[in-house]
């Protein structure tokens, strides 16, 4: 197969992955907005987009399989294709987290609203920013941008812990808020996990671009 056809196939694979990444970023935003604004119509959109992400994961895997079986990609092209296989899994998981957040938003919508002394909106924005930067790193093949995502992960972890501590205090003082506070804790955890998946994507971009494996070099002593 002529090399130009190979590079067209490679470009098609990259485009498909980027389209999937855009959906993942969008669905995360929708799910947080559904919670913040109590907009239940967005929950239906979340489910639709997540289904599209799942279908895209299968298509990307099949395209990667075809490319690998027909060509003999070497070096950086091979690393790129292997990164794609890893990255599409993390994008799919961001879709899953968004569905989880939307389901929590639905549950909360049925409960008496409780004013929470925590900033889940800020966590949502942080997770969205991490996802957007990870996608940008992927588009531009830029490991320095990927590094920025890794650096944002600690902040996400701190915010998650704060939400949990404050919510536990609230539940102890006002047991009638337990159901509501627990769902808020779960949303915060889902956002923290979305940040983790953005971090994984950034690490895979670094593997592709620098050819070096940075995974697990960051201490996970207090993960989750």
* Secondary structure (DSSP) of 136-179: HHHHHT-HHHHHHHHHHHHHHHHHHHHHHHHHHHHHHH-GGGHH
Closer of 129 and 141 to a copy of itself (Cβ): 141
Question: Which candidate, 136, 131, 120, 144, places its Cα nearest to that of 200?
Answer: 131
Closer of 129 and 143 to a copy of itself (Cβ): 143
The Cα–Cα gap between 71 and 13 comes to 14
Q: How far is the CB of 54 from a copy of itself (least distance, A)?
A: 4
Among 55, 121, 144, 158, binds a copy of itself (CB under 8 A): 55
DSSP structural state of residue 117: S
Q: Is 115 in the site for a copy of itself (CB under 8 A)?
A: no
146-152: long-range pairs with CB below 8 Å, 24+: 146/202, 146/203, 146/205, 146/206, 146/209, 147/202, 147/206, 149/198, 149/199, 149/201, 149/202, 150/199, 150/202, 150/203, 150/214, 150/218, 152/126, 152/195
Among 64, 108, 149, 205, binds a copy of itself (CB under 8 A): 64
Taking CB under 8 A as the criterion, which residues in 145-204 touch a copy of itself? 164, 168, 171-173, 175-176, 178-179, 182, 185-186, 190
The Cα–Cα gap between 131 and 125 comes to 10
Q: How many residues bind a copy of itself (CB under 8 A)?
A: 45
Q: Is 210 in the site for a copy of itself (CB under 8 A)?
A: no
The Cα–Cα gap between 191 and 182 comes to 14
From the list 34-42, 116-124, 126-134, 211-219, the region that binds a copy of itself by CB under 8 A is 211-219
Q: Is 213 in the site for a copy of itself (CB under 8 A)?
A: yes
* Angle separating helix axes 41-70 and 75-109, nearest 10 degrees: 160
Taking CB under 8 A as the criterion, which residues in 22-41 touch a copy of itself? none
Report helix, strand or coil for 29. helix
From the list 68-76, 113-121, 137-145, 151-159, the region that binds a copy of itself by CB under 8 A is 68-76
Q: Is 99 in the site for a copy of itself (CB under 8 A)?
A: yes
Among 74, 110, 112, 113, binds a copy of itself (CB under 8 A): 74
Name the residues that contact a copy of itself, by CB under 8 A.
51, 54-55, 57-58, 61-62, 64-65, 68-69, 72-75, 78-79, 82, 85-86, 89, 96, 99-100, 103, 164, 168, 171-173, 175-176, 178-179, 182, 185-186, 190, 213, 215-216, 220, 222-224
């Amino acid at each position: 197969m002529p090399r130009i056809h190979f590079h067209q196939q490679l470009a098609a694979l990259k485009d498909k992955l980027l389209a999937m990444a855009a959906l993942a970023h969008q669905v995360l935003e929708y799910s947080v907005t559904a919670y913040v604004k109590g907009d239940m119509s967005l929950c239906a959109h979340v489910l639709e987009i997540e289904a599209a992400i799942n279908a895209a994961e299968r298509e990307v895997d099949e395209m990667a399989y075809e490319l690998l079986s027909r060509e003999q990609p070497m070096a950086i092209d091979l690393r790129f294709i292997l990164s794609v296989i890893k990255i599409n899994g993390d994008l799919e998981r961001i879709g899953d987290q968004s569905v989880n957040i939307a389901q929590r938003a639905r549950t909360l919508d049925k409960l008496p609203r409780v004013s929470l002394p925590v900033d889940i909106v800020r966590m949502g924005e942080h997770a969205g920013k991490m996802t957007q930067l990870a996608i940008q790193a992927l588009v531009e093949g830029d490991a320095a941008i990927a590094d920025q995502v890794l650096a944002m992960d600690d902040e996400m972890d701190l915010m998650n812990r704060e939400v949990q501590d404050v919510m536990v205090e609230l539940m102890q003082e006002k047991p009638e808020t337990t159901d509501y506070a627990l769902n808020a804790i779960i949303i915060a955890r889902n956002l923290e996990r979305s940040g983790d998946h953005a971090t994984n994507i950034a690490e895979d971009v670094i593997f592709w671009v620098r050819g070096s494996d940075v995974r697990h070099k960051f201490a996970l002593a207090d993960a989750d």
